[in-house]
């Protein structure tokens, strides 16, 4: 396939953590490619390295060795590692993130939380009306509420809206339903699927909820830092 068809390509990624005098090999020689518009779920037991891998793929961290290309760009390779500022520039161009703990700013309203990324950076392509995203997620009637006044499911949807507002190419979701009940989890799953199918968003999902993983096109299983 042509290089432009790939959202990202990782080759021989390794990540070593140092804890005191101990060395921990969190990711051990992982190579993988994700096509544009693909929905990939990463599963595996606790400690298998799912989150570490997704952090590398999502440019939240540099690998110890290996290479990563996002679209046509080389993020890191044997020759160079990117600085925090450079990583930030790529992150804001390419990625949107959602996490298990919604991380909303408690003193801002829902609308202000969603618009928060614009305080720092607005992509030229992000010309759409943020209210459309809010309507799509079903929280347009909550825009003046504070996070403390809405439910967990609604908070995660606000976080999703915030992640989408700058028109990312890749959506990274790390255990997005970890704090939600079954019903809400299913709703989130449906939303991710819809975003992937309707908007063509590439989605990388980390979960240990098998029901949620089924929504993806394919599943990547990890154990002890390796793909199995």
Partner 1 sequence: MKEKISISQVAYKNLLRKKTRSALTILGIGLSAWVLASLLGFNRGYESALSKDIDNMGFQVLVTAKGCPYEAATLMLKGGTGLRYMNESVIADILKHKEVEKVTPMLMQAVFDPNKGESGGISAYLGVDPATYPEMKTFLKFKQGGWFKDASAHEAVLGYEAAELEQREVGDKILVPEKNIEYTVVGIMTRSGTQDDGTIFVPIGTLQKDFGQEGKVTAVGIKVDKKANMTELENKLYDLPDVQVVSMAQVKNTIMSLVSTAKVMVFSIALIAILIAMIGVINTILMSVFERFQEIGIIKSMGAMPKDVFQMIWTETVILCLLGGVLGIGLSFGLAKITDLLIRRLLPYTPTGSLIVVNTQLSLLTLAAVLVIGLVSGIYPAWRASRVRPLESIRSEGD
Give CA torsion, residues 153, 155, 160, 161, to 10 deg. Answer: 120
CA distance readout (Å), 38 to 8, 73, 109, 210: 11, 19, 33, 18
Q: Looking at 21, 22, 120, 148, which residue binds partner 1 (CB under 8 A)? A: 120
Query: One symbol per residue from 187 to 226: x for binding partner 1 (CB under 8 A), - otherwise; what is it?
Result: -------------------x-x------------------
Q: Looking at 14, 35, 36, 92, which residue binds partner 1 (CB under 8 A)? A: 92
Minimum distance of partner 1 from residue 105's CB (angstroms) = 6
Q: Looking at 7, 63, 71, 117, which residue binds partner 1 (CB under 8 A)? A: 117
* Alpha helix (H) residue ranges in the chain: 50-57, 84-94, 110-120, 130-137, 152-164, 182-199, 210-213
- Which residues here bind partner 1, judged by CB under 8 A? 46-52, 55, 60-61, 84-85, 88-89, 91-92, 95, 97, 99-101, 103, 105-108, 111-112, 115-121, 130-131, 162, 166, 174-175, 178, 206, 208
């Amino acid at each position: 396939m042509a290089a432009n068809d790939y959202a990202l390509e990782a080759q021989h990624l390794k990540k070593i953590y140092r804890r005191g005098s101990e060395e921990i090999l969190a990711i051990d020689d992982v190579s993988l490619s994700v096509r544009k518009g693909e929905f990939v779920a990463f599963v595996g037991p606790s400690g298998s390295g799912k989150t570490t891998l997704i952090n590398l793929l999502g440019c939240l961290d540099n690998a110890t060795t290996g290479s990563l290309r996002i679209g046509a760009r080389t993020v890191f390779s044997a020759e160079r590692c990117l600085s925090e500022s450079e990583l930030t520039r790529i992150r804001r161009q390419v990625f949107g993130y959602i996490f298990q703990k919604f991380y909303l700013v408690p003193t801002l309203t829902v609308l202000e939380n969603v618009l928060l990324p614009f305080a720092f950076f607005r992509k030229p392509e992000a010309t759409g009306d943020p209210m459309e995203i809010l309507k799509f997620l079903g929280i347009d009637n909550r825009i003046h509420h504070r996070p403390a006044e809405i439910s967990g499911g609604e908070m995660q949807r606000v976080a999703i809206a915030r992640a989408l507002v700058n028109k990312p190419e890749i959506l990274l979701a790390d255990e997005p339903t970890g704090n939600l009940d079954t019903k809400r989890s299913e709703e989130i799953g449906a939303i991710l699927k819809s975003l992937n199918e309707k908007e063509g968003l590439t989605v990388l999902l980390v979960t240990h909820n098998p029901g949620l993983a089924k929504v993806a096109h394919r599943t990547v299983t990890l154990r002890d830092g390796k793909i199995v």
